[in-house]
Amino acid sequence: IEICENHSIEDAVEFVEMWMAFSISCLGGAEPTVINLGDFERKEIIGKRVLQRDAASRPKGDSVGRPSGDMLKIYSGGTAEEQPREKILDIYSCYSPKPHQAEAKTRPGGVEGIFSPASYSPLTTPKDKTGDEKSGKVVYTFGSGQLLQSLVWESSKNGQEIPIVQLPLNIHNEILGMEERYMYESISEKSWLAGRHFDDIASGICSRAFTEDVDENNGEELSEVDEHSQDVIRCVGRVCPEKDSVRLSATSTILIGSSKDEIHSVDLDFSRIQSVALFPGQIVLAKGMNPSGGTLFLRQVFAERYWDPPCVPKQLTQPLRLLIASGPFAENNDLICEPLQDLMAQCKQLKPDVLILIGPFVDVNNSCIADGLLAESFDSFFQKLIQGVVSSVGEHVEILIVSSQRDAHSSMVYPTEPYSIPNKPKNVTFLPDPCCVEISGVKFGITSTDIVRHIAEEEFTKNVAVDQVKRIVGYLINQKSFYPLDPPADGVNLDTMLSERFAKLRTVPHVLVLPSDLKCFARDVNGVLAVNPGRIVDTKRGTFARLVVTPPGEGANPKDYMACRIMRV
């Protein structure tokens, strides 16, 4: 204590670190006796001040290990004069290092982005786009030829009010909020929820299968999945890999069913079925023979239920123009958010009525975030991004912000709660992942989780000619879930109870927005427009989607009243 008072040392942690380094290097780890502390004070504390005084008196051009000119800025805000501590500790050859502190580099030309975090300059130069495709280039188009020719893409800004209503995803009309508890579930509760969802989906699939595939001998009778039978049987179950560590294949796929008392499972043999497409967690009705009780030789698999396409939005009286973009919004090795600035420039030019931005915004996979180089809180940086977006596009554009479990300031649990910021602008609406929202009578289903890629990587197919995108969108609708994959992909921290309440696709939307790392698309899937706008950050220029919904006629198809263009940023 006397040493600290004599030399005005206020940081106890730093004092202990200095003593430990001195003790290990010079005293062989001896205890802090009076004699040892005297040596420590003389050599460490006083010696350090001598070096600081010498460094201050030395001309700038003669600084050891420092070039002449202005001192480099350090992440912590310190200067080069704070470095002698490291030099004096080098004498003892052993000390406790402090966390890595990156030296800041200014952006060429002194250009500072409006989305740049505080006290931070990018560690790399801006991305060279000389070889990229032209900004604004259309890479994908959806809509009838007549609609595309007659359509006016830019908004007239006639001051029309855009009503936005978030729709509940469960029968109790609940909406996911900030107060929900997560990862707070028991095995019995998870089992009960899984069983209830299984019964719901299985009953819908059986209803359609029994109508389209009439069995005169057995009627609507169902068997256990492992029932011995020389005749053709029908059973319902959940598709699973034989082991968690393997993918579905012709030799490693099983069907799990249940009775009131126990769980049953059976191996699936695909040698006698012409075509099939399955993914882990899918609930199906299987038809085949099981002569031994251990293997079901499949004849047919039913995985679809009856569902009606959404009714045309009669409330829509004027064209609705939207711009949809998905993050991340910064290159992986900086946080300058240059792609987001380019998107805002496009937004000013295209003048949409609604701007939908889908996370991640503060991506945990960004190397600057992972290395701890952000000199402000994640919440503060996110707030700065939102304020920058509002200031760029103005208050006349409705802005929807969809959360992502990849955001560093989120709970990192799926479903992910909506965000909030102080003094939220009136034209900003925060939405959870996933969510359903009605905009001027048009229903949108939106998720930031890449379910398309996750299913595509785990899916098993045999002689299937159906378009993969349409097939995967069909999975979501038939399984009534934004995330039907079970077990979930690595990195998806799925909460079963929250998923049952806030991630079910109980209402078929007009538009299903499914951002993915896979190639961008816009497809009509039985009356539902499925859109992957791509990512703002890509190996070339990223992409975003422009969508125009016009007042539809009675019984119109999506192509007749919806047009979509996916464009380069």
Compute CA distances 310 → 237, 240, 436, 514, 566, whole Å.
Answer: 29, 32, 13, 18, 24
Supply the pLDDT for residue 78.
42
Compute CA distances 562 → 146, 287, 326, 534, whole Å.
Answer: 11, 39, 20, 19
> Residue 327: how many CB atoms within 10 A of its CB?
26
* SS (HEC) of 347-403: HHHHCCCEEEEECCCCECCCHHHHCCCCCCCHHHHHHHHHHHHHHHHCCCCEEEEEC
What DSSP line would sit under 267-290, residue for residue?
EEE-TT-S-EEE-TT-EEEEEEEE
Supply the pLDDT for residue 118.
57
Strands 320-326 and 354-358: parallel
Residues in the chain with pLDDT < 50? 59-112, 119-123
Structure tokens belonging to residue 412: 């990192």
Residues of the chain with CATH 3.60.21.60: 137-181+310-449+492-568
Supply the pLDDT for residue 91.
44
CATH homologous superfamily, domain 189-302: Nucleic acid-binding proteins (2.40.50.140)
Supply the pLDDT for residue 134.
76
Q: How far apart are CA 243 and CA 232, in angstroms?
A: 27
Which residues lie below 8 Å from residue 92, measured CB to CB, with a gap of 6+?
21, 22, 24, 25, 26
Q: How far apart are CA 241 and CA 305, in angstroms?
A: 23
The answer, yes or no, to whether the previous bond of 484 is cis (omega within 30 of 0) is no
CB 337 within 8 A of CB 330: yes
CB 307 within 8 A of CB 478: yes
Supply the pLDDT for residue 266.
93
| Closest C-alpha to 55, from 88, 78, 77 | 88
Residues of the chain with CATH 2.40.50.140: 189-302
Q: How far apart are CA 242 and CA 367, in angstroms?
A: 36
Residue linked to tokens 């829509």 = 316
Q: How far apart are CA 509 and CA 444, in angstroms?
A: 5
The answer, yes or no, to whether the previous bond of 487 is cis (omega within 30 of 0) is yes
Compute CA distances 251 → 33, 177, 266, 267, 301, whole Å.
Answer: 71, 43, 12, 8, 17
Supply the pLDDT for residue 72.
30
For the four alpha carbons of 408, 410, 416 and 419, in that order, the dihedral sign comes to: negative
What stretch of H or E contains 536? none
> Residue 452: how many CB atoms within 10 A of its CB?
23
Supply the pLDDT for residue 53.
56
Supply the pLDDT for residue 104.
42
Supply the pLDDT for residue 506.
87
Q: How far apart are CA 514 and CA 531, in angstroms?
A: 6
Supply the pLDDT for residue 299.
94
Q: State the first-to-last Cα distance of the chain, in angstroms, to the nearest integer.
A: 61
- Class of CATH domain 137-181+310-449+492-568: alpha beta
Helix locations, 465-511, DSSP H? 468-478, 496-502
Compute CA distances 499 → 36, 171, 234, whole Å.
Answer: 61, 14, 29
pTM for this predicted structure:
0.79
DSSP state of 196: H
Structure tokens belonging to residue 365: 């996979």
Q: Go through the chain and tell me how many residues it has.
A: 569
